[in-house]
C-alpha cells in the first residue's frame, strides 16, 4: 500500500534585488490518497494540474514542503541516502519523452546495465548474470538482442519507449510510475505500448501510478482514478464508478470532452472561464472560476472532503 498524506509542494519564483519579493507557486496542495498493492492508479488532469510534480516528489526528485508519503517502511522525510537507494530499487519510473530520457551517447547495453552498476552492492556483478537478466527484459518488452549495440537515435519513438520500459524493469521493481508514457507516440503505437504495459504488470505483479491527460487512456488502464486540478485532488474513486457517475463538475466536463466514435455529430462541451494563476489562487474552490454550478460559497470557502462508498470528492454542490 502506498499512502500520500497532505503533500504540498511550493516553488519560489523570482526574488532578489531587481525582481523584488519572490512569488509562491503551489504545485501541490494537500494531496492525499492511497494506492493498493497490485493496482493501477490513474492520475488525470489538464496540463499544470500537478500530476508530474507528484510523480517527481514520489521518486525523490523534489522534496515536499509539507506532508509525506509512505510505502512499506519507506517514509519520506525520514529516509537517508542509503534508504533512498533501496527505495529506488523497488520504485522506478518511465518518462514521457522517449527521445530526451535516453542518453544519446550511450549504447542500449550501457543504458540497461547502468542500474546494475549503481546498485552493484545488491545485485549480481558478473557479466554473464547481467546479460542474462538484460536478455530476459528485452524479450519481455519485444526487442531483440541486436538492439544492445545500437544507439537511441537508431530506433523509432515506440522502440525507444520500450527501451525506457526495459530500463525501469531491470532491477525488478514493485512499483512503476508512468508519466504520460504514450502521449509523445503515434496513436497506432500507443495501443501497442498500453497493451505491453498491461501484460508486464500481470506477469510481474506490479503496482502502477499511471499519469495522463487523456481520460480514454486512463479508463483503459486504471483500477482507480484520481482527478487533479491546479495541484489539488478534486475527486477519487474506482474507474468504473467514477466515469459513470462522477460527483465533481470538473470530472463531468473531462468525461464530456472524450471522443465518441458511436456519435457522429457529438458536440464537445468546452470548459468556459479562465484558469486561475497557480501563483495567486483564489480562497475558495480552485475550480470555481470555470464551474457551471458555482455559487458564492464556492468562491469563498474551500470544500471539505466528502467520502463516498469507495472514494471521495471536494465539492459544495456535487452532481447527484
CATH number assigned to the domain comprising residue 19: 3.40.50.300
How far apart, in whole angstroms, are the C-alpha atoms of residue 181 and residue 94? Answer: 7
Measured in degrees and rounded to the nearest 5, phi and psi for residue 275 equal -75, 125
Q: Is 226 within 8 Å of 31 (Cβ atoms)? A: no
Maximum pairwise Cα distance, the chain: 68
Q: How many C-alpha atoms does 159 have within 13 Å on its Cβ side? A: 13
pLDDT value at position 63?
A: 92
More confident residue, 206 or 257: 206
What's residue 97's pLDDT? 85
Split at pLDDT 50, 70, 90, the class of 123 is: low
250 within some domain: no
Which domain covers residue 146, as residue numbers?
Answer: 2-242
Q: What angle do CA 227, 229, 235 make, to 5 degrees?
A: 30
- C-alpha–C-alpha distance, residues 119 and 108, integer Å: 18
What is the mean pLDDT of the segment spanning 51-68? 93
Residue 84 lies in a domain: yes
Establish if 147 belongs to a structural domain.
yes
User: What one-character DSSP code corresponds to residue 195?
Assistant: H
Average confidence (pLDDT) over 244-272: 77
Answer yes or no: is 233 within a domain. yes
**Domain tally, the chain:** 1
Amino acid at each position: 500500500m502506498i499512502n500520500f498524506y497532505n503533500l504540498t509542494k511550493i516553488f519560489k519564483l523570482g526574488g532578489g534585488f531587481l525582481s523584488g519579493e519572490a512569488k509562491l507557486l503551489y504545485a501541490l496542495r494537500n494531496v492525499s490518497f492511497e494506492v493498493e498493492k497490485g493496482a493501477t492508479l490513474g492520475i488525470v488532469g489538464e496540463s499544470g494540474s500537478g500530476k508530474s510534480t507528484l510523480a517527481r516528489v514520489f521518486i525523490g526528485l523534489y522534496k515536499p514542503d509539507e506532508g509525506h508519503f509512505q510505502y512499506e517502511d519507506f517514509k519520506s522525510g525520514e529516509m537517508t541516502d542509503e534508504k533512498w537507494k533501496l527505495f529506488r530499487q523497488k520504485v522506478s519510473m518511465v518518462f514521457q519523452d522517449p527521445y530526451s530520457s535516453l542518453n544519446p551517447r550511450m549504447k542500449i547495453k550501457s543504458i540497461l546495465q547502468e542500474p546494475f552498476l549503481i546498485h552493484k552492492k545488491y545485485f549480481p556483478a558478473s557479466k554473464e548474470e547481467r546479460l542474462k537478466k538484460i536478455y530476459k527484459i528485452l524479450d519481455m518488452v519485444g526487442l531483440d538482442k541486436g538492439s544492445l549495440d545500437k544507439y537511441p537515435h537508431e530506433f523509432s519513438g515506440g522502440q525507444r519507449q520500450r527501451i525506457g520500459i526495459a530500463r525501469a524493469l531491470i532491477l525488478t521493481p514493485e512499483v512503476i510510475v508512468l508519466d504520460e508514457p504514450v502521449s509523445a507516440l503515434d496513436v497506432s503505437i500507443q495501443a501497442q505500448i498500453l497493451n505491453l504495459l498491461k501484460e508486464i504488470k500481470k506477469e510481474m505483479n506490479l503496482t502502477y501510478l499511471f499519469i495522463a491527460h487523456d481520460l480514454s487512456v486512463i479508463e483503459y488502464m486504471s483500477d482507480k482514478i484520481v482527478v487533479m486540478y491546479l495541484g489539488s485532488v478534486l475527486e477519487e474513486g474506482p474507474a468504473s464508478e467514477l466515469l459513470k457517475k462522477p460527483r465533481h463538475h470538473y470530472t463531468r466536463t473531462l468525461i464530456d470532452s472524450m471522443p465518441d466514435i458511436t456519435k457522429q455529430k457529438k458536440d464537445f462541451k468546452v470548459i468556459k472561464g479562465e484558469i486561475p494563476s497557480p501563483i495567486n489562487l483564489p480562497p475558495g474552490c480552485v475550480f470555481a472560476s470555470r464551474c457551471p454550478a458555482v455559487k458564492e460559497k464556492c468562491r469563498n470557502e474551500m470544500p471539505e472532503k466528502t467520502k463516498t462508498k469507495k472514494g471521495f470528492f471536494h465539492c459544495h454542490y456535487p452532481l447527484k
